[in-house]
Amino acid sequence: MAADHVRAVLAALVMLSVCEASGLGPAAQGEASEEAAWVEPWDGSVFQPPSPLGAVGVSCQPGAPRPEQEETADLPVLLWWSPGLFPHFPGDSERIECPRGACVASRDRRMRADLRTRALLFYGTDFRASEAPLPRLAHQSWALLHEESPLNNFLLSHGPGIRLFNLTATFSRHSDYPLPLQWLPGAAYLRHPAPPLHERAEWRRYGYAPVLYLQSHCDVPADRDRYVRELMRYIRVDSYGKCLQNKQLPTARLQDTSTATTEDPELLAFLSRYKFHLALENAICNDYMTEKLWRPMHLGAVPVYRGSPSVRDWMPNNHSIILIDDFDSPQKLAEFIDFLDKNDEEYMKYLAYKQPGGITNQFLLDSLKQREWGVNDPLLPNYLNGFECFVCDHELARLDAEKVHAASFGDIPVPEPHIAQSSHMDCPVPTPGYGKVTEIPENDSWKEMWLQDYWQGLYQGEALTAMIHNNETQQSKFWDYLHEIFMKRNQNL
């Protein structure tokens, strides 16, 4: 999925201007109601998966001078160390205007040692300990953009890994630039009408099951297939995709796994036939919620969910999803789904949020209203440019603090550097989807792959931290150290 994400970003960048074309910003749109502001203007592209890039950029304000027209020599430089996400084409550098002032964004790695380069920006999926730009320069901040789960990089799920960075933009509400609702376009998306129950009853007469499972990414850290396999013993589940497949999607185009992550109208029409969708994230992390959760709610299906332990905080009301972990066993869950399936009145309580006034969670409404970016919304900026400006403002404030310190002849201290915390990527050790670790054979693919990767991430974080603190620069020494602690840990396990 990470590769698809980067390709989506690059494809969007080719077609975008770096300056806002419409002249409409969040302030102008604030005059319209939230409902009117999101009347499903998309063309099936809400989830592609979601690019951080909207249809317009915010690198310069309307009428702002271009970089070649105005002096940039004294501006702080933000260096994108993950050049594939550089949000300014066609050049390698771009002046950006942010609330606190201007910076220069660049992807030219030759700028790394320049004293003007105040921050390095990394995309978490691309970050590798073996490729870290060492030695780390004392005057530079490291900023991390990582909206993905730890499946893409377990290094960042450990304290030593995340604390390598000063600033973060992750799915966690506790990160410096939070992105927990990156897959939810708006409240009106949730209010989309559900198909009438009589239509779903008609489809059931054609042999459809009450429960849908659509997943082609198998063997993930959350070990979701192990749970679903056990659930299938007690209730009928139509499983499409490559994982536990027992049925085929009706057309070859829908069987394409890339289609399953989009809002293809034909796919959505098919998925809406089911009253319950198994919605299991690929990893368990606080605030990590994807289209697996929001898309069923849009369609008017009830998500049977396992993922973010904090998911209740973000739900439209307190009666809109079924949480797998509320049930003692898959059998108990199956019995409850069957009860709802046979009792329309009880089932419809789970769709009450679609009625006027049905979204009662003020925290969710406030979070959607206060975020400054949109989800593939052509009228709003994107979180990639937003994070860039967040880092720019941080560095301008840090420069001002350094000047105050210098003018005071040391009487006023320089503020302590801001360091990211574990809560910015709050993901515990992977656990089995069903059963206990001791019950799983040693040659089980999940046990071999994901537990090993999790601990390897910890080893890499500790090794890289030690290298930075010791100011070692030779990669061979880094890997010698990594091998040493890896062998010691294996002896202690």
What pLDDT is recorded for position 12?
41
Domains of the chain and CATH, by start? 77-179+384-429+444-491 (no CATH), 187-367 (3.40.50.11660)
Burial status of residue 112 (CB atoms within 10 A of its CB: 0-12, 13-18, 19 or more): middle
CB 481 within 8 A of CB 467: yes
Could you tell me the mean pLDDT of each successive run of 10 residues in the chain, 493 residues long? 42 34 34 39 38 36 42 89 87 94 96 96 92 91 96 91 96 97 96 96 95 94 97 98 94 82 88 97 96 97 98 97 98 98 98 97 97 86 92 97 92 92 93 92 87 85 77 51 54 46
Q: Where are the beta strands (DSSP E) in 246-343?
A: 276-280, 302-306, 322-323
What pLDDT is recorded for position 466?
77
Closest by CA to 144, choosing from 174, 165, 126, 128, is 165
- Cα-based torsion angle of the residue sequence 88, 92, 97, 99 in order, rounded to the nearest 10 degrees: 80
CB 290 within 8 A of CB 281: yes
What 8-state DSSP symbol labels residue 19? Answer: B
pTM for this one?
0.83
Return the number of other C-beta atoms located less than 10 Å from residue 279's C-beta. 30
Round to whole Å and give the CA distance between 355 and 303.
Answer: 18
Round to whole Å and give the CA distance between 480 and 486.
Answer: 10
What 8-state DSSP symbol labels residue 211? Answer: E
What pLDDT is recorded for position 488?
52
Pairing of strands 276-280, 302-306: parallel
φ and ψ of 460, to 5 deg: -65, -40
Round to whole Å and give the CA distance between 194 and 192.
Answer: 7
Pairing of strands 276-280, 237-240: unpaired
